[in-house]
Every structure is written in C-alpha cells, then in structure tokens.
Structure 1
Amino acid sequence: MAEKVQNQTLHIAKSSKKDEFYTQLIDIEIELEYYKEHFKGKTVFCNCDDPRVSNFFNYFFYNFEELGLKKLIASCYNNKEHNLFNNYSTVNGYYAEYSGNKDGNKINRPEEINIIAFKEDGDFRSVESINLLKQSDIVVTNPPFSLFREYVDQLIKYDKKFLIIGNINAITYKEIFKLIKDNRAWLGIHLGRGISGFIVPEHYELYGSEARIDDLGNRIVSPNNCLWLTNLDISKRHEDIVLTKTYFGNEIDYPKYDNYDAINVNKTQNIPKDYRGFMGVPITFLHKFNPDQFELVKFRKGNDDKDLSINGKCPYFRILIKNKRLQM
C-alpha cells in the first residue's frame, strides 16, 4: 500500500498541475556524466529554472570550463503564487546569462551572472523564452510534468537537442512513443530508483515510505517513477541486450496474443534469442533498447486496434518488437 501511495505523487502533481519538483544535484551529476562530450562549444538553456537556486544552473555554472561551454542561459517562470523559492521581490519572470569568468582564473563567481527581467512571466511558451530557445543548442531541465507533451513538442519544433526529466508514463503518450519509434528520442541512463527524489515546497505532502527531510532541511519526495528523455546519442545506447532464453522448446512460456501474430514476453531478460517473429515486451524494455539490435514495430494495440490480449486478458502496455539480428 505504501508503494501505491508513493507512486501516486507525480500523478497527483499532473492532475492538479502542481509542478514544483526540483531536481537534486546528485541526480544531475550522475546522469550528465555520460553526455559531457556533447557540450563543448555549445549554448545550454535551462528554461524551467530559477538561476538563483536551480541545481541544473549550478551544475553547468560550476562545470562551465570543464564542459567547454560557449554560454549558459536559465529562465524562470514567475506565476506570482507561493512556491519553494519565491520571495515576491519580482512580478515578472527573469533569466540569467553566463559566458564564462572574465579573469581567466577558472574560478566562477556568482556575481558574474547577468540577471535580466522579462517583460512577461517567463513561461517557456512565451515569445521572450522562445527567442532564448532559438539561441541555444541543448536544453537541459526538469520541465512541468503537466505540460510535458507540449514542452517536448516545442523542442522538436525548434529542432533542439535535449536532456530532460519526465514521468515514466510519458513513454506511453502516442506523441512521445512516435519520437522513440522514429529514433528521434530515447531514454537516458537512469530511471525509477535511479533518480533519487525531488525537493518539494512546504505545502506539498510528503508521500511514500522514502519521503524524507535531508540534512539541509530540504523536503524530498521519491516517487521512483521518473526517467530521463534525450536525443543526445551515447555509446551505451548501442550495447546489445544479452539474450539467454530460447523460444523453441519453451513455447508454453511465450503465449500468443489473441489479436496480433506475436508472442508475449513478460520481462526484457526473457526475450528469446531464437525467435524471428514479433514479440510483445513491457515498456521498461525501452530502457535497454538498442536500435541496432531491435526494431520497434507498434505500441499497445493489436490488429483490431484494441489492447493486446491473451485469452481475453490484457497485460499492461506492451511494445511490439522484432529482432534485427535474426533478419539478416
């Protein structure tokens, strides 16, 4: 029961449009470690981040020279309501720009950050924020989960590289799955418990058995149902899933669907190495998905456009795949 309540946290956030889930620095550091080669000479935009307190901004600010960044921009939405960091000193949104230290000693000083007020509220959809987006090369942030589809659509529209956090269920959205199927986006390194939790404001309830208050007094919720979504390619993405199971001789373990000519595989680790046809796998398969090894065929639906079923019962969302290695 505790786990069920815990996993409701971000669902509640979505339905009530409570989007104040602030990413911890440790989670940013362990994910970004895999992508450093992408940032040299680039302008990074954190467009859902208060530069005074954002751990995304802090990460890029203090690693500016190591990453070889050209420029760092962070923009802050101000909805004039109570939130974790709002001190009501401004009525508009604002953004910060940083282009490296001026004295060449590689010591980055906060006073060198140039903070500029927006004329509007700083929403990522505003003309002012979009103008900054056009100047950027890579977007890295934790966007509002309640606006995730719209947020990703904007990144695609302006042809931006990105590394962002979302709810695991985002991969079930038809718009997001299509991007993954078309090899225009994919899952990052960490998901689920690999993302340790989010800092939340005082007025948020601390859900779940892993909710806590850390040594700095931060209130942290760990829903364990988030992921990184990106279109930055890394070598780890092209590592084959090691297959050890066989279909032939174990057919009883792989029942066929009622409404599609494919076998059901309950766990990624159970994908048979000798099956040439279509297979239905859990959505968590996408965390291990190597586009050189497997083809994504279809999501969730059978030939009758109804959910895939076995003897009239529907397993949780399945992705239909095919092994490319066996088609050669």
Structure 2
Amino acid sequence: MARQATNKLLQKAKKSKSDEFYTQLCDIESELQHYTNCFVNKVVYCNCDDPQISNFFRYFKDNFQKLGLRKLIASCFGNAEIVHGNEHAIRNAYYCEYEGNDIPMNVVNFEGNGDFRSTECIELLKQADVVVTNPPFSLFREFVTQIVHYNKQFLVIGNVNAITYKEIFDLIQNDKAWLGVNLGRGISGFIVPEHYQLYGTEVKINEEGQRIIATNGCLWLTNLELNQRHEDITLKMEYTGNEDKYPKYDNCDGINVNRTQDIPKDYAGLMGVPITFLHKYNPDQFEIVKFRKGDDNKDLKINGKSPYFRILIRNKRLP
C-alpha cells in the first residue's frame, strides 16, 4: 500500500491526547548519525522513555562508549499501558542511570507518576546536558519550553505542525532551534498499541510483532549544531522577467513563492515561502522576518485569498 500524505492520525492524537507513538530504532539511528560529536562527556536524559522498551535508551546504551557519554538517564510515566510485541502490562514510574558496563545500573522508583513536568523529573533534567526523546505530541510546546527554560540542548521528534506554534517558531526565528536532518518521509513510522485506530495511514507488522504506522507529518527539532544548516540553498530562478509567477500580497509589500526551489536569486524584498523552507533554511543566507501575517497583522492574502502558512523571509546576500 502506498503511503498516504496525511497528518490525520497525528491530529487525532493531539485532540484525544493519545501519545503512544514510539520511535523506531532505525529512525533514531538515521538521525543521530549526524550528531555523533555532540555527546562527548555529556549526560543524556531520555525523559519520556521506559528503559525496558525505549529505542532511545537502547541506542544510547549500545553506543555509550562510541559516543563518549558520561551518563545516560531514562525515566518513564507510570500507570500507562506498555506494549511490546503481543505483551501488555501496566508500568510503574521509575528512572534508571547507566554509566557503562563496568558500573551496575541504578534503578529508582519515583514517588510520583514520572511526568516530565514533575519535581522529580525536573531534578533529573537539571543534571542533564542533552535531552533526546519522543515527547508527547499533545504536550510538545510545553515540553520544548521547559527544556529551553533550563538551558538544555535537545533533539526531539514531533509533528511538523509544531513549526506553526508561536513558542517553537520564535525559537527558530531567533536561531535558538532548527530542524534536524530527517523530515516527512525521512521518518519511516512509529510503533503503536493495538487499540489505536488507523486513519488512512500505511500499517505494517515488524519482526517483533509491533504495529508500525507511517506518517508524512513529523520532524526532528534540535539546537545541536548541524553542518547542513549552514549550506546555502542553491537559487536558480529569476524574478526579473518572470514577475507573473510571483504574485504580490494584498496586505504586504512582498511576493509569494510556492516552493523553496522557486525562490528567485535576484529579489531583495520580502518573500513568502512555505513552512517546508525551514528544512533547508540557512540563517547565514536568509533572514526570517515574520510568520503568516501581513502589515495589517492579518493572514497574508493574494487577491483576497490566503495561501497555506507562509514565512516571510529576506535574502541577506542582496543589497
């Protein structure tokens, strides 16, 4: 079955606060390979992860020495159903600390429920240098806000619509966070429990008997340095002579650009580009000016109609 380009499942999860989307090891490995130098002598905290089943914990434990980690901490929310293959159980809230094969793993039960917002989890967060996990989609903006508040580095996976949240967009605009390497189809799918309804999304069963749903609507968000984000977008199109392809906005002195690849190389003014532009965004090449709104602080419009979310940018390389 061909994968359908839909965010319905993730939107349903947000509305119902069903957050049992577990990241596959293959997707973690695919993204983490780009940050191998970011973990030397660091304490990594996976604060939405049951060490018994979390692929984030598995990845960092298996690569502990290779990455040069100082400590790995993982904690999980209690009173939640866990699914591993065909086995179901109710887990207790606890955390564990791993410091290498030569040191016994420290496992401690929480007094509370292990919510990442709890005092116990915040105390663990304070010890950490980097947070890497798949946070609850319904609490994504609150999760990221907390990490930023405690001045931690992070690499987290979430719904692509998180870009449109004011808290997240402000971080990106101010160069305090950026998109990771994999986006959309670059993330192959999530492990979900059997009780999840399927909303037109491709489903398969892996070798461990787990149900995998594939979506096109996820991204990695991080503040770990990436060489790729300083690579220029190659601009091939020209505005001069092709003005009819770049309509002007009714309520903003700028032009609309439907695709990142169509950004003209000779236009120095404001340009409205789709949110997928952020996947290629180089802060040395472009300035992010505003999100979605025109001069009247209303949605950008062309001939009275609003295109899907646009980011207003300016080319820094042009006078």
State the TM bucket, normalised to the shorter chain: over 0.9
Query: What is the Cα deviation at residue 209 of structure 1?
Result: 4.5
Residue matched to 1:82: 81
Return closer, same or farther for 1:10/1:142 CA change in 2, 3 Å cut-off: same
Paired amino acid for 2:49: D
Q: Is the CA contact 2:23–2:189 (under 8 Å) kept in the aligned structure 1?
A: yes
> Which residue of structure 1 lines up, in the alignment, with residue 24 of structure 2?
24
Q: Does 1:303 align with 2:302?
A: no
Residue 249 of structure 1 aligns to a residue in which SS?
coil
TM-score normalised to the size of structure 2?
0.96
Aligned-pair CA distance for 1:81: 4.1
In structure 2, the partner of 1:244 is 236
Q: CA deviation at 1:24?
A: 0.1
Whole-Å Cα distance in 2 between the matches of residues 81 and 167 of structure 1? Answer: 22
Distance 2:273 2:236 in 1: 16
Does residue 235 of the first structure (1) align with residue 227 of the second (2)? yes
Tell me what 2:7 maps to.
7
Deviations 1:249-283 (Å, cap 9, x if unpaired)?
00000010000000000000000000010100000
Counterpart residue number, 2:50: 50
C-alpha displacement at 1:2, in angstroms?
8.2
Structure 2 distance, partners of 1:74, 1:96, is: 6
Q: Which residue number corresponds to residue 151 of structure 2?
A: 159
> Matched residues, percent identical?
64
How many correspondences in the alignment?
A: 315
Compare the two structures and name the one with the higher strand fraction: 2
CA distance in 2, matches of 1:260, 1:97: 53
Give TM-score scaled by structure 1 length. 0.93
Provide runs of 4+ in structure 1 moved above 6 Å.
Answer: none
Mapped pair 1:215 → 2:207: yes
The SS at the match of 1:193 is helix
Residue 48 of structure 1 deviates from its aligned partner by 0.2
Q: Residue 73 of structure 2: SS of its match in structure 1?
A: strand
Could you tell me how far 1:210 is from its partner in structure 2? 1.8
Contact 1:208 1:221 in 2 (8 A): no
What is the one-letter code of the residue matched to 2:67? L
Q: Superposition RMSD on alpha carbons, in Å?
A: 1.5
The structural deviation recorded for 1:102 is 1.1
Paired position in structure 2 for 1:224: 216
**In 2, Cα distance between the equivalents of 1:165 and 1:191?**
10
SS of structure 2 residue aligned to 1:177: helix
Which among 168, 171, 183 is matched to residue 176 of structure 1?
A: 168
Are the structure 2 counterparts of residues 35 and 2 from structure 1 closer, same or farther at C-alpha, using a change threshold of 3 Å?
closer
**Structure 1 portions without partners, runs of 5+:** 104-111
User: Unaligned 5+ residue runs, structure 2?
Assistant: none
